[in-house]
Copies of this chain bind each other. A is one copy, B any other.
Amino acid sequence: MNIPDSNLPRIVIIGGGFGGLRLARALKGKPFQVILLDKHNYHTFQPLLYQVATAGIEPDSIGYPLRKIFEGQKDFFFRLAEVQHIDAQLKQVDTSIGSLKYDKLILATGSGTNFFGNNELEANAMSMKSIPEALDIRSLLLQNFEQALLTKDLDERQALMNVVIVGAGPTGVELAGALSELRKHILPKDYPDLDVRRMEVHLIESAPQVLAAMSDESSKDALAGLEELDVLVWLDTFVESYDGKKAITKDGKEFLAHTLIWAAGVKGETVEGIQPTAIVRGNRIAVNQFNEVLEMNDVFAIGDVAAMIDEANPRGHAMVAQVAIQQGERLAKNFILESKKKDRVPFVYNDLGSMATIGRNKAVVDLPKKHFKGIFAWMVWLFVHIMQLVGFRNKLLVLMNWTYSYFRYARDTRLIIRPFKKKISDDIPQPS
């Protein structure tokens, strides 16, 4: 992989998401050689993917070049690579661009969409875990509207306009809200010869409430907000099949829609070579309080892919950005402590709260001891998300886009730049 040898211990990090990024940055100027591997050359700000999918902001605003983030960081190397296998005996990672020895290896590989083994769903549903996937959704939505114009068959036209979202976690709720705002403010102007009011946005959830991970108040407020926006919410409803045109639920309901977005499950993105006994529920990797993978040496996992199981968290921590960020920071500090022959400190999660936006002026925020909603919650949501976006330019761009959209009810990024035809792989080409 053509990385210079060094006397420093080598820390190899797989994945430049929230966890991997924080870990690598926190090691700046410390006595380690740090190598970051990612299959994209940019960090994706996943909380705003739904805005790209609904033509609210451009993809370049939520991607940030990894090389730029680490500009000037000494003893740091980024490589665009897909990891294929880990050999814990040889302490080596095998990748699409060759092998690499490590002293410490950190899996910060995040999570992917979980279709729970349903191949038909996987083939026909859209998922939204990356910028290319979000762009595919944007293209498909717009293509379906263009097609809806062409048919005289009213059922077919209806099915082309309808969108089904499965899963009412933050992603599903935010998508449903953004889609109903598109329906209200944008699509009627773009498609004056379609009766856009007929477009249905269905949000289907197998649990008895939306935002099940948040407080009861937030769930209730979010549900009320969604209904105000005319989102059709189906609770206690389990989607069993989808052939690309019709979704069928366990209790026999049928939904005609040419777009179905699957936001109903995620699973850890593990790597071949991890001790099989360490793989637990949700395809996550069991780790101890120091993020060490059980029964492996010098292999760590942080963020979504790690399951730190204890009494308070029998299924591990929530798969959210804050956990990844805090684990990355804790792990960096522990590496530094170790290098000074000091004792490491076990990870303790500091819950800063959670939030979700439903639409214009509508959001719900749970702080550890407080819940609030409405326009103030929405402004908090905006502020927190903009502050977290990496890079000055991206903050400005997103702020500008939002201000513009807010005052003009406009979304100007509804371009079908790459038509969506079938599931496109975004693998990195192999070096020749």
**Chain A interface (Cβ within 8 Å of chain B)?**
1-2, 4, 40-42, 58-61, 63-65, 67-68, 71-72, 77, 79-80, 97-98, 131-132, 135, 142-143, 146-147, 149-152, 189-193, 391, 393-394, 396-397, 400-401, 404, 410, 412-421, 424, 426-429, 431-432
Contact = CB atoms under 8 A, between A and B. Distances in A.
A60 B415 contact: yes
Contacts of A60: 58-60, 412-413, 415
Contacts of A67: 189-191
15 contacts: A2-B150, A2-B152, A40-B415, A58-B58, A60-B60, A60-B413, A77-B193, A80-B143, A80-B146, A418-B418, A418-B424, A419-B427, A419-B429, A420-B429, A421-B429
Given A58-B58, A98-B150, A397-B397, A63 B421 contact: no
Contacts of A429: 143, 419-421
Contacts of A391: 412
A150 B400 contact: no
A209 to B, nearest CB: 36
A189 B68 CA distance: 8
B415 A63 contact: yes
A410 B393 contact: yes
Q: Which 5 A-B pairs have the closest CB atoms?
A: A58-B60, A67-B190, A42-B415, A80-B146, A63-B415
Given A142-B41, A146-B41, A415 B80 contact: no
Contacts of A98: 150
A412 B142 contact: no
A416 B59 CA distance: 11
A413 B396 CA distance: 14
A193 B412 CA distance: 40
A415 B98 CA distance: 23
A404 B63 CA distance: 17
A375 B419 CA distance: 40
Given A41-B415, A77-B193, A419-B428, 10 more contacts: A41-B416, A64-B412, A65-B412, A98-B150, A150-B431, A151-B431, A418-B418, A418-B424, A419-B426, A419-B427
A189 B419 contact: no
Given A391-B412, A412-B393, A415-B41, A150 B68 contact: no
B80 A131 contact: no
**How many copies of this chain does the complex contain?**
2
A131 to B, nearest CB: 6
A88 B2 CA distance: 63
A151 to B, nearest CB: 7
Nearest to A135: B417
Contacts of A151: 2, 431
A71 B394 contact: no
A325 to B, nearest CB: 22
A392 to B, nearest CB: 8
A212 to B, nearest CB: 33
Nearest to A77: B193
A107 B67 CA distance: 45
Contact of A131 (B61, B142, B146, B417): B417
A426 B418 contact: yes
A5 to B, nearest CB: 13
A72 B189 contact: yes
A412 B404 CA distance: 21
B396 A400 contact: yes
A193 B77 CA distance: 9
Contacts of A189: 67-68, 71-72
The residue in A98, A190, A394 that gathers the most chain B C-beta atoms within 10 A of its C-beta is A190
Given A41-B416, A393-B410, A419-B426, A68 B190 contact: yes
A132 B417 CA distance: 6
A143 B429 CA distance: 9
The residue in A2, A401, A404 that gathers the most chain B C-beta atoms within 10 A of its C-beta is A2
A42 B401 CA distance: 19
A342 to B, nearest CB: 32
A149 B37 CA distance: 13
